[in-house]
Chains A and B, each alone.
Chain A
Amino acid sequence: MSDKIKVTIDGIPVEVEPRTSILNAARQIGGDIVPPAMCYYSKLEGSGGKCRTCLVKVSKGSEKDPRPMPKLVASCRTTVMDGMEVQNITSPEVIEARKGVVEMLLINHPLDCPICDQAGECHLQDLSYEHGAATTRYEFDRRTFDRVDIGDKIQLHMNRCILCYRCVFTADQITNNRVHGVLGRGDHAEISTYIEKAIDNDFSGNVIDVCPVGALTDKTFRFKNRVWFTKPVEAHRDCPTCSGKVTLWYKGEEVLRVTARKDVYGEVEDFICNTCRFDKKSTNDWVIEGPRQVSRQSVINANHYDTLQPLPVIKKNPELMQANKEQFERATKF
């Protein structure tokens, strides 16, 4: 087709509709060359451009104007031009800049993954794993905030927030009177519902799904389980408010939590209502479709109880057992 636009990303050509962003063009190719996106969310109008993890190098502007762009650009907010050539993982400059961004995102992050409900499905975790340094160069106190309840179902843990503004855009899109936004400036900015007013809306629970980190969590699920011990199952119900298409997260027979269905980029297919999310936690409420396909690399696939051959756990390690025994004896001597 002639009105399609041809771009090359890391040497791989693709033809896309005009006005597509570089990021979405890369997603059409898929695989390793897709830049990570912490703030862009295709379902949220105006999102993107903020976190800077998706920076790429445009080595050729277009067929008409082949000059490269002077700076790295945010691929989520830069539209493709015909003949454009983009470098993502093939550009050392991009990798270096991304490493810098990840470091910046982490210097004030509490790194409390062991007690964070998002662990296992956290985009910041994935990102740090791939691009982060093993140690920190930041030797100052991290900023802290008090935890805040946003209504009785959602908790805001501002320490973990990366200010991606996704929840703000979600709140903007589901209500027409603004109650949720950003207060303060710079590294003391914080997400807030003015005077801790609950976002009183049938769809407010979606802020939990859009949050890439563990800053907004589901209070009905808090501390119930690690996500990799739960089993995702697709289900639907006839819901008068939303599409009713969800993922149920099972532990044994029990539905521990309900979320919208997310794609490989962590974006939901449809926003779901609070009734489906918070109040329908029994198998009887749902028509089960089948297990959710989770990428094989995902940690969610790592530790399922239904694994046929359970992984050898510490008990099988004689040295460790001996060490434990000694420790136990020493501790109980007194």
Chain B
Amino acid sequence: MGRKLLLEHINVPGINTFQVYKEKGGYRAVEKALKTMSSDDVVEEVKKSGLRGRGGAGFPTGMKWSFLAKPEGVPRYLVCNADESEPGTFKDRYLMTHIPHALIEGMIVGSYALGANTSYIYVRGEMMPQIRILEKAIAEAKAAGYLGKNILGSGYDLEIYVQPGGGAYICGEETALLESLEGKRGNPRIKPPFPAIAGLYGCPTVVNNVESIAATVPIVNEGGEEYAKIGIGRSTGTKLISASGNINKPGVYEIELGLSVEDFIYSDEYCGGIANGKRLKAVVAGGSSVPILPANLILNLANGDKRLMSYESLSEGGFATGTMLGSGGFVVLDEDQCIVRNTWNFSRFYHHESCGQCSPCREGTGWMEKVLHRLEYGHGKMSDIDLLVDVSKKIEGNTICPLGDAAAWPVASAIRHFRDEFEWHVKEPKLALERNYGLAHYADPIKIAEEV
């Protein structure tokens, strides 16, 4: 059994209430931080822990905190990014629904470390039940003296507010989130300046994912070094993975980073293997934005070693043979799934969610969607495949925010690894409407390049 730091008490009845959470050792981190540590000590522990952002980019959280500008007389903010809308990712919602106090406790610890006296949790608009749950949790914590003025007699004041978003994926991008929080249209800002210098209302701001913030609780409790002992290499600690698709046991799992992908998919502790006795065809390992990999490359690296669930191992091989851990949205596709359809579906999402500020993303996402739609419905041409690659290249790297890249990668990678299947859609348009391409050679052992 892997260690559980966030979901240890997930099955305890009433863990969503303050009382049970506290009985199970909750709010120790607040007591420890506020009573025995300076805010710099807390930042130092988080740095030592090696915790990396769980929202997608994997930027070291402690480093992000230490970059926060601290000019005199200007308020600073901690903003929690609970906009979770990446297709395939649903871990933050799970955490907020079942253990809301883990987030509230993390918010108090984080705000204290950053010297913020007002903090916000920006929740995706569709998650109304979670918004109510968080508001109740905040009220409970406040009644118990963990929020408000002079918390635990330490002289530290903090208010936390929950802000519902309007339900736009783009408002999960940190600067779009800040715009939206300020009451404006959620267009990503042009950086620099970065939020650490000028974020919410022009003040220094840290934006962190729900899971990153919650993870600071065990870090403060057990110390950064202890936390760093879990995991592998620069991928420390535990990570919540949202597992979905054709597996026996979909759900949210907490894993120790460094678990092998094979164990994650096939062991009974986690996904429990592919459903209905089918064979694995492909995996989108980190939410819809990351490159899709065929079965052989997701289970093994190009050199034949086992691929692990860690930031480094998943991205091993770059774009040629690797992918990314992203936000941990693990979507498994079995032999009956159509890659073309799946790619079209993703690109439809990005087309719908592009904010429309920059020309390549605004126009290119729609273009790719239309071409993919045509391919999927049997009207495609051979030249469409290269056209898609070319359009994705024109978007990638040329936009204001990473949504452009996120829209380009799934298309480019699907064609890179599943070109046969795209070609089959062009050559056999009638057949492609009736049945799927199947597993083909996508699970064949990889040819290992000779050592030179």
| Minimum CB–CB distance for A177 against chain B, Å | 15
A97 vs B360: C-alpha distance in the bound complex, in angstroms?
10
| Minimum CB–CB distance for A185 against chain B, Å | 5
- Chain A residues with CB under 8 A of B394: 97, 100-101, 103-104
Known contacts A48-B190, A55-B398; is A101 also within 8 Å of B360 by CB?
Answer: yes
Chain B, residues 362-378, CB within 8 Å of chain A (1/0): the string is 11111100100000000
Known contacts A48-B190, A77-B190, A104-B363; is A186 also within 8 Å of B351 by CB?
Answer: yes
Are A187 and B354 touching (Cβ within 8 A)?
A: yes
Among A43-61, those with CB < 8 Å from B are 48-53, 55
Among A244-296, those with CB < 8 Å from B are none
Looking at the complex, which one of A72, A105, A182 makes contact with B397 (CB distance below 8 Å)?
A72
Residue A162 interfacial (CB < 8 Å):
yes
Looking at the complex, which one of B356, B367, B399 makes contact with A107 (CB distance below 8 Å)?
B367
Known contacts A186-B365, A187-B365; is A52 also within 8 Å of B352 by CB?
Answer: no
Are B351 and A100 touching (Cβ within 8 A)?
A: no
Chain A, residues 103-147, CB within 8 Å of chain B (1/0): the string is 111011000000000000000000000000000011010000000
| Minimum CB–CB distance for A332 against chain B, Å | 45
Residue A189 interfacial (CB < 8 Å):
yes
Residue A151 interfacial (CB < 8 Å):
no
Residue A64 interfacial (CB < 8 Å):
no
- Chain B residues with CB under 8 A of A163: 356-357, 359, 362
Are B356 and A189 touching (Cβ within 8 A)?
A: yes
Among A222-258, those with CB < 8 Å from B are none
Are B370 and A50 touching (Cβ within 8 A)?
A: no
A184 vs B370: C-alpha distance in the bound complex, in angstroms?
19
Residue B358 interfacial (CB < 8 Å):
yes
A137 vs B355: C-alpha distance in the bound complex, in angstroms?
24
Are B398 and A52 touching (Cβ within 8 A)?
A: yes
Are B365 and A74 touching (Cβ within 8 A)?
A: no
| Minimum CB–CB distance for A266 against chain B, Å | 18
Known contacts A74-B190, A163-B357; is A187 also within 8 Å of B398 by CB?
Answer: no
- Chain B residues with CB under 8 A of A49: 190, 358, 400
What is the predominant secondary structure among interface residues of chain B facing chain A?
helix
- Chain A residues with CB under 8 A of B397: 71-72
Residue B132 interfacial (CB < 8 Å):
no
Taking CB as reference atom, which chain B residue is nearest A109? B363
| Minimum CB–CB distance for B190 against chain A, Å | 4
- Chain B residues with CB under 8 A of A55: 398
Known contacts A72-B397, A97-B398; is A108 also within 8 Å of B356 by CB?
Answer: no
Looking at the complex, which one of A72, A137, A181, A186 makes contact with B366 (CB distance below 8 Å)?
A186
Chain B, residues 200-214, CB within 8 Å of chain A (1/0): the string is 000000000000000
Looking at the complex, which one of B168, B359, B365, B366 makes contact with A50 (CB distance below 8 Å)?
B359
Are B356 and A187 touching (Cβ within 8 A)?
A: yes
- The size bracket of the interface on A is 20 to 34
Residue B387 interfacial (CB < 8 Å):
yes
What is the predominant secondary structure among interface residues of chain A facing chain B?
loop
Residue among A52, A74, A184, A188 with max Cβ neighbours from chain B (10 Å)? A52
Residue B31 interfacial (CB < 8 Å):
no
A112 vs B185: C-alpha distance in the bound complex, in angstroms?
31
- The size bracket of the interface on B is 20 to 34
Residue among A100, A105, A181 with max Cβ neighbours from chain B (10 Å)? A100
A50 vs B356: C-alpha distance in the bound complex, in angstroms?
9
Taking CB as reference atom, which chain A residue is nearest B356? A189
Looking at the complex, which one of A100, A105, A186 makes contact with B355 (CB distance below 8 Å)?
A186
| Minimum CB–CB distance for A98 against chain B, Å | 9
Known contacts A52-B399, A186-B356; is A140 also within 8 Å of B370 by CB?
Answer: yes
| Minimum CB–CB distance for B263 against chain A, Å | 35
Residue B159 interfacial (CB < 8 Å):
no
Are B185 and A181 touching (Cβ within 8 A)?
A: yes
A165 vs B355: C-alpha distance in the bound complex, in angstroms?
13
A207 vs B368: C-alpha distance in the bound complex, in angstroms?
32
Are A187 and B190 touching (Cβ within 8 A)?
A: no
A138 vs B374: C-alpha distance in the bound complex, in angstroms?
12
Are B352 and A186 touching (Cβ within 8 A)?
A: yes
A222 vs B180: C-alpha distance in the bound complex, in angstroms?
38
A165 vs B394: C-alpha distance in the bound complex, in angstroms?
22
Chain B, residues 387-422, CB within 8 Å of chain A (1/0): the string is 100000110011110000000000000000000000
Are B353 and A186 touching (Cβ within 8 A)?
A: yes
Chain A, residues 183-201, CB within 8 Å of chain B (1/0): the string is 0111111000000000000
Are B190 and A105 touching (Cβ within 8 A)?
A: no
A48 vs B357: C-alpha distance in the bound complex, in angstroms?
10
Known contacts A107-B367, A187-B366; is A52 also within 8 Å of B359 by CB?
Answer: yes
Among B177-236, those with CB < 8 Å from A are 185, 190
Looking at the complex, which one of A101, A140, A181, A189 makes contact with B398 (CB distance below 8 Å)?
A101
A129 vs B356: C-alpha distance in the bound complex, in angstroms?
24
A51 vs B400: C-alpha distance in the bound complex, in angstroms?
10
Among A1-52, those with CB < 8 Å from B are 48-52
A189 vs B353: C-alpha distance in the bound complex, in angstroms?
11
Known contacts A105-B363, A182-B185; is A100 also within 8 Å of B398 by CB?
Answer: yes
Are A108 and B360 touching (Cβ within 8 A)?
A: no
Are B353 and A104 touching (Cβ within 8 A)?
A: no
A137 vs B386: C-alpha distance in the bound complex, in angstroms?
12
- Chain B residues with CB under 8 A of A103: 394
- Chain B residues with CB under 8 A of A108: 363, 366
Give 22 pairs: A residue, B residue, CB < 8 Å, sorted on A.
A50-B357, A52-B398, A71-B397, A72-B398, A97-B398, A101-B359, A104-B360, A104-B363, A104-B394, A105-B359, A107-B367, A108-B363, A108-B366, A163-B357, A185-B168, A185-B170, A185-B355, A186-B354, A186-B356, A186-B365, A189-B356, A189-B362
Excluding A50-B359, A187-B362, 17 further A-B contacts by CB distance (< 8 Å) are A52-B360, A52-B398, A71-B398, A97-B394, A100-B394, A100-B398, A101-B359, A104-B359, A104-B362, A105-B363, A138-B367, A163-B356, A165-B357, A185-B355, A186-B362, A187-B365, A189-B362
Residues of chain B touching chain A, judged by Cβ–Cβ distance below 8 Å, are 168, 170, 185, 190, 351-360, 362-367, 370, 387, 393-394, 397-400
